[in-house]
Amino acid sequence: MSNLLITNGLVIGARGQEIQDILIRDELIVTISPQINPPENCRIIDANAKWIFPGVIDPHTHMGIPIKSGYSADTFASGSPSALHGGVTTILDFSVLESGQTLRESLNTRIKLAGESLCDVGIHVNITRFEPEILAEIPDLIRSGYNSFKVFTTYAEADMMLTYDQIEAVATIIGQHNGILMVHSEDNDVIRRASESFAGGTQTHPRYHGLSRPAEAELVAINRLGEISSRTNCTIYIVHLNTAAGLAKATEYPLLKVETCPHYLLLSEKMYERPDGQMFVSSPPLRSIADSEALWLGLQNGQIHTIGSDHCPFCLGDKPAGTPYQDIPNGMGGVETLFPTLLAQFMERHLNLELLVRLTSSNPAAIFGLDHFKGSLKAGFHADLMIVDPWSISTNWESTLHTSLDWNAYTNFSAVFPETVIRRGEVVIDKAIMNSPSKGLLLKAGS
């Protein structure tokens, strides 16, 4: 049995903040109260009025996923230590449905890869083929704790798209069994029409990536998905929402849950004009500053429920300058900078830190069925937390990143990295140095 007592931290929760002591035994929080006497054989960490946040649950990562020409740059083994350094103790990643595989087989393949993760890890089930046998697997998967599924309204060329009718059929089954449907929401017809004007021409600069996927694509898709959620009574989670118009539409439908990403809050389409503009190509693309300010308002109004990194990084060599936008691998890294950059922004914008906790811990836990043991600092819950010194806010942190990548999107941004990170009771980062953590736990909803 190991005891750990954290004293005098300002514990920031979803609904308040207070100086508290936290007693941890093995993996769990035993007590949290203003004054706890240490038991025998207890390590004590004096948090000394620094801030304590619940560990971040990043609901959206893509570790080592196949693309046209290889894989995204971080594997579970390289991406998860980087995540821990940014205070992310849980990642939720996605299965990849290869041709001929059942959903269960694709899930098992992914679970095996996720065994390398040092973060606790859950897997969403991608449905990129519409077949009766695939649909028939859904109820059983939900019963066994895999209750979140993802579909795409686009990527027809990669054979990943489902039509709206097919999505409605999937949503009907998931809704009946109380699962959740996640949707990449960009209308394929809108993208096709917008792209046609650039096809075969000289307009291949990264800025045309944005113009080929206009804001209207998100608006049209969210409108259709909102209607589907109402008709099927299925909760639909809009991944990586990025436009003011899409957000306004999403708020019309009570069964839609909304995620946005740090790059849509912190960056804009102006990045495409930089000499390394190709590195910022992701789908959906970066938007205007007005869009990003609308998202900041949406966070404050409770219209956006979570912030996921959509971590899908590539190195400089994977995205050479001058590559036509159509051939640039889509995606950016961000799991390590997710919380540190957002915390700095929340401080600079004088926003409520409890809101940040809701967006990055308690809401993702509740939405994905993990909220009886993760997402909050409470007795009986997993001891996932971080200690942050707010005075360590800095713009000079890039060289301290713990990633295998040679490029990062947030150079010169303010950030506050945690100095101590505890995952299920284990001190995995101690004074910014990683110990040799045990492997993460495979998570299932509701168990």
User: Where on the chain is the footprint of Zn ion (CB under 5 A)?
Assistant: 310
CB closer to Zn ion out of 65 and 377 = 65
Q: Is the CB of residue 138 less than 8 Å from the CB of residue 177?
A: yes
**Beta strands 28-33 and 17-25: pairing type?**
antiparallel
Q: Which amino acid is at 351?
A: L
Q: Residues 6 or more apart from 211 whose CB is under 8 A from it?
A: 194, 198
Q: Which is nearer to Zn ion, 310 or 371 (CB)?
A: 310
CB of 74 to Zn ion, least distance (A): 13
Grouping H, G, I as helix, E, B as strand and the rest as coil, residue 82 is helix
Cα angle: 369, vertex 372, 376; to 5 degrees = 105
Residue 416 Cβ vs Zn ion, minimum distance, rounded to whole Å: 25
Q: 187 or 310: whose CB is closer to Zn ion? A: 310
State how far the Cα of 104 lies from the Cα of 441, in Å rounded to an integer: 19
Angstrom CA distances, 293 to 60, 249, 298, stand at: 22, 16, 9
CB of 133 to Zn ion, least distance (A): 26
Q: Which residues of 171-191 are buried (b: 16+ CB within 10 A; e: fewer)?
A: bbbbbeeebbbbbbbbbbebb
Q: Which one, 58 or 310, has the nearer CB to Zn ion?
A: 310
List the one residue out of 37, 42, 39, 32 whose CA is nearest residue 2. Answer: 42
How long, in residues, is the chain? 447
If we measure between CA atoms, which residue out of 70, 325, 351, 346 comes closest to residue 208? 325
Q: Which is nearer to Zn ion, 4 or 304 (CB)?
A: 304
Nearer to Zn ion, 21 or 259 (CB): 259
Which tokens in the block code for residue 413?
Answer: 């941004």
- Closest separation between CB of residue 342 and Zn ion, Å? 18
Nearest CB to Zn ion, comparing residues 21 and 74:
74
Strand residue runs (E) in 51-192: 51-54, 56-58, 66-67, 70-71, 88-94, 120-126, 148-152, 180-184
Q: Where are the beta strands (DSSP E) in 100-209?
A: 120-126, 148-152, 180-184
- When the beta carbons of 368 and 373 are compared against Zn ion, the nearer one is 368
Please report how close the Cβ of residue 49 comes to Zn ion at its closest, in angstroms: 38
Task: Give the angle subtended at the CA of 196 by the CAs of 191 and 197, to the nearest 5°.
Answer: 115
Q: Give me the least distance between CB of 386 and Zn ion, in Å please.
A: 24
Nearer to Zn ion, 280 or 346 (CB): 280
CB of 184 to Zn ion, least distance (A): 7
In terms of CB distance, is 13 or 246 closer to Zn ion? Answer: 246
Residues in CB range of 100: below 8 A, 6 or more apart = none
Give least dist CB 245 to Zn ion, A. Answer: 20
Q: What is the closest distance, in whole angstroms, from the C-beta atom of residue 312 to Zn ion in the complex?
A: 6
CB of 232 to Zn ion, least distance (A): 23
The residues facing 386 across adjacent strands are 53, 421
